[in-house]
Amino acid sequence: MTISTTWCTSAKSEIFSAAHCFQGPAVPTGSTTSGAFTITSLSSVSGLAVGMSVVDTGFGGVPTGAVIASIDSGSQITVSKAATATNSTVFSITGDHMAMVLINASPVGTYGAATTNYSQVTSNGDEVSGTGYTTGGIVMTNTSPAISGTQSYVNFTNPSWTSATFSTSGAVIVNESKRLGGTAGRTVGTYDFGGVQSVSSGTFTVLLPSAPNTVLTIT
Amino acid sequence: MATVLITNGGPHSAEDWAMATAEAIFQIEPSVNGARLLQARRLQTEIAELLINHHQSIIDMERRNLQRNTQEDFSYGNALAAVQAIAHIAKDTPWEAHINGDPWMQTAHHTILNHMQSMQHVERSWHRDHQ
């Protein structure tokens, strides 16, 4: 079967439903009050969007799974879960978790614009297995959307597998976050590696096309 | 088509990264041929050779950080210096104006920074694997 390098058509549609957040990470400082939903005295709200995940890196005062419910001012946000402690700390605020899943050397399925969900990879038994590879792939760090001329694009850090022994022929980018209809595993893009690529007790890195020539570009 | 970088038996070397970066920021179209192809390949090789030292310094920095549990980081300035050095060696070539233009400079800076961050990540990952 075949793999092509392309946006998934379903992901293009889902963009209009606010079903993907590609924002890169932000790490502002701020304060929580036990029992309150607000985070105050934020050093910055730049790059923050409603729905982004909020993690308290210091004291764990913000419960797991909290997301931004509203941006109230230049120094305050409201989150979806009340704080369990009063503290001033550093927050890690991130967009959706995008994972790169590797396809094995001889896939049964076809992966390209029509691919919609990670479940297609698993049901076909097409995911790589081997030393240094964990089922579900590697979560990449988003690079916030940017503009070049009349194009807008998003990209990610290059995923690497170390101490790795496996063979692969392509990859699928999967949004692990549940947004649209509570469905996780929606696919965003697919990548062809131009043939079977093998690594032995070494390092396998996918060099994503450089901005502004990324696959995920809106012209 | 996405490019992959594969090194068997260990992390990628500075040379591996340098060639990958040079191919990403100075791409030679398949339609280029003859003397111009030779010139283009020569410049691409010069860019790669220039980047070896820059990339080796990043790998060495990250290994020092991991050994000493420090957080030394000069990636941003290092990437900018690399872009400026490439612009310098492109002088008197057919690509001088292109490489000295803002769009190329910005794309090259972004790509070099991206690769440097990946180098740091690979070094950390190998360190974690062998702890």
pLDDT per residue as tens digits for the range A105-116: 999 999 999 999
- Contact list, A128 vs chain B (CB under 8 Å): none
Interchain contact A58–B (C-beta under 8 A) = no
- Contact list, B125 vs chain A (CB under 8 Å): 160, 162
Distance CA A115, CA A109 (A): 10
* Residue B96 C-alpha from the chain's centroid: 19
- Contact list, B126 vs chain A (CB under 8 Å): 162-163, 203
Q: Which DSSP string do the residues of B12-79 spell out, in sequence order?
A: PPHHHHHHHHHHHHSPPPTT--HHHHHHHHHHHHHHHHHHHHHHHHHHHHHHHHHHHT-----HHHHH
**Each residue's pLDDT tens digit, B46-85:** 999 999 999 999 999 999 999 998 888 776 678 888 999 9
Q: By the 8 A CB rule, do A74 and A40 touch?
A: no
**Each residue's pLDDT tens digit, B2-21:** 789 999 999 999 999 999 99
Buried b (16+ CB within 10 A) or exposed e, A64-79: eebebbeeeeeebbeb
pLDDT score at A211: 62
Distance CA B123, CA A85 (A): 36
Q: How many CB pairs under 8 A join A and B?
A: 93
Nearest to B129 by CA among B25, B18, B11: B11
Query: ipTM for the complex?
Result: 0.90
Nearest to A65 by CA among A84, A86, A88: A84
Rg of chain A (C-alpha set): 19
Region A46-72 average pLDDT: 92
Nearest to B21 by CA among B101, B119, B112: B112
HSE of A134, CA atoms in CB hemisphere, 13 A: 8
Q: Note whether A162 contacts B129, CB cutoff 8 Å.
A: yes
Instruction: Break chain A down into helix, strand, coil percent, rounded to 5.
Output: 10, 45, 45
